[in-house]
Chain A
Amino acid sequence: MNYSLITLEILAVLLGLTVLLADLWVSPSSRKALGLGLVAALGCLLAFAVGSLAPQSGSAFSGLFVVDDLARYFKGFFIFAALAVVVMAVDFAPKFGAGLSEFFALTVFALVGMLFAASANDLVLLFVSLELITVTFFVLNSFQRTRLASLEAGVKYLILGGVSSAFMVFGIALIFGTANSTNFSVLFAKQKELSQSALFLMGLLLVLVGLGFKMAAVPFQMWAPDVYQGSPAPATAFLAVGSKAAGFVLLIRLLVGTVPQITTEWHRLFVVMSGATILFGSLCAIPQRNLKRLMGYSSIANAGYLLLGIVAGSAAGSTAILYYLGGYAFTVLAAFTVISAIANHVESDDISALSGLGQRSPFLAAVLTMAIVSLAGIPPMAGFFGKVLLLKSVLDVAAGHPELYALIAVAVVGVVISLYYYFGVIRAIYWGGQSSNLSTIPVSLATRVVLVACVAGILVLGIFPQGLLKIADQAVAGLSHSSTPAAHKAAH
């Protein structure tokens, strides 16, 4: 057994525990300094995760845990997201009241769940890592205990999250019963005979319910708008980026890596799911007045676009998902950092609260505009190129499948609708009428650095996509079970 493979996870757990312990000796006034220390530590962890010292490829714990290029890609992704969220939380501190260090620690523990999810090669680890993420988010979402909206968001996430994980557990039981194993490599080897078993297919469908909930895909998207609106902004940002990406990395591993044959047979199901998710998210976003709720619907629509890559079922589709998620992370983190800074100052996250932002804080206004433009999919931003890649991957396999052309049409309609509601936000920023309060919104240095990094990310990914594309290509190439023989042997 090679314990060095889980170095990153062990370090992250230790980091979370250190924060919890350090809280005992740190005076309440210097909790923010503790947060900045955590940011520095996460920065080191990120450098370690993407550097050449990162754990080599291999599998551990009887093939339960794998490290490959796909896992490494997502680990870097998750650590960056956690870093940005902690920076956001440091500025958000006055709103939390007591318990700021606990928020930091819980963010790190959720990160640990995501790191494990990126490496899961077994339904057991899939379940445990997803639950680690879900249970920590119950607390993160309801962290403002004195605010009813936050508690309500937490309770709604609790009930719906509980139901979806119960479905997933039952699905795992059925898969275990028919395949006599929960290891992805074993399932891959047996998929031909398993695809004949109705009980196995039922189990797989139930596991997809659990993953669909994480991704906020129709018909498991009900929670997203309410929870996004009610949760504190940093928690919402982590939910939108980390939790969604954790759902997608597991979906890629399970559907593309483990049972590609069944995924191809089921492609109509994913066509309907993707199309319905795009339309639901885009149409329901139109009348929204609350910015965080709007982001909730936008997040649903984006889950639909990402599902296009699963519909394609090809390596190009998976590459497009990875690329799109990369751009999406920069975009959403930038948007939520600005939303959180404004909500901190103005006590509101309505779109109307943005009025006059163009004059009050030109920097924040410019960053939010860039993020919104990228979400809308306008060149030369990362969001544009990501959508093009996703659509192209579907188009490549569309010959002879009229439903795929229909799906592409739906996706394009979704983009057009989204232009309308995203433009509403930009209009509020620059042409929202005079705001009575013209004081600048204070932005800390750390936040400024994160915002600049996100904007640079959006632009660089949009203008020079080759770099990330190459990494994403490499990450997906390992998926077609070049790594399985070793894992397979270990499983027996």
Chain B
Amino acid sequence: MTPGLHHYLIVSALLFSLGLLGVVARRNLFVIFMGLELMLNAANLALVAFSRYHNNLNGQVMVFFIITVAAAEVAVGLALLVALYRKRQTAHVEDLTSLKL
């Protein structure tokens, strides 16, 4: 049996859910960040699968945009987390409580 579009989409949906689970359930900011990347890559997989299925290369071009944007996001995000760690000596979401009513 050759894998069809559905198989790729199911894998993509699973990856997306796993990433979301990582963001929602984990408490470490770096692991949350990894979850975010997983979610973006799930979308990439879906785009490539659709692109191949429709024989339309636009989807794969979109993937390049997403990869580029994700790289920019990681660069800024990690710098921000390092700055926070220097200030607060923590990378846990429970410790981000200085802003409240």
A residues bordering B, Cβ < 8 Å? 124, 127-128, 131, 135, 138-139, 142, 145-146, 148-149, 151-156, 158-159, 162-163, 165-167, 169-170, 172-174, 176-177, 180-182, 225-226, 229-230, 287-290, 293
Contact = CB atoms under 8 A, between A and B. Distances in A.
Nearest to B97: A152
A163 B99 contact: no
Contacts of A166: 16, 19, 36, 39-40, 43
A98 to B, nearest CB: 13
Nearest to B39: A166
A230 B50 contact: no
Interface string B13-52: 0001001100100000100110010011011101101110
- The prevalent SS among residues of A at the interface is helix
B79 to A, nearest CB: 8
A148 B77 contact: no
Interface in B41-98: 42-44, 46-47, 49-51, 53-54, 56, 58-59, 61-62, 65-66, 69, 72-73, 76-77, 80-81, 83-84, 87-88, 96, 98
Given A138-B77, A148-B87, A176 B96 contact: no
Nearest to B88: A148
B47 A176 contact: yes
Nearest to B62: A124
B1 interface: no
A131 B73 contact: yes
15 contacts: A127-B62, A135-B73, A135-B76, A138-B73, A159-B36, A166-B19, A166-B43, A169-B43, A170-B16, A170-B46, A172-B62, A173-B44, A176-B59, A181-B58, A293-B101
B101 A138 contact: no
B43 A145 contact: no
B39 A170 contact: yes
B46 to A, nearest CB: 4
B83 A151 contact: yes
Contacts of B98: 148-149, 152, 230
Nearest to B51: A176
Q: Which 4 A-B pairs have the closest CB atoms?
A: A166-B39, A177-B50, A173-B46, A169-B43
Contacts of B20: 163
B62 A176 contact: yes
B87 A128 contact: no
A153 B32 CA distance: 16
A135 B50 contact: no
The listed residue with most A CB atoms (<10 A of its CB), out of B20, B40, B59, is: B59
Contacts of A180: 54, 56
Given A127-B65, A165-B73, 12 more contacts: A127-B69, A131-B72, A135-B72, A148-B88, A152-B98, A159-B29, A162-B33, A162-B36, A163-B23, A166-B40, A169-B40, A230-B98
A155 B46 contact: no
A158 B53 CA distance: 34
Contacts of B99: 149, 152-153, 156, 225-226, 229-230, 293
A151 B84 contact: yes
B23 to A, nearest CB: 6
Nearest to A284: B101
Contact of B80 (A142, A177, A290): A142
Contacts of B87: 145-146, 148, 151
A155 B72 CA distance: 15
A162 B81 CA distance: 14
The listed residue with most B CB atoms (<10 A of its CB), out of A135, A145, A176, is: A176
B77 A158 contact: yes
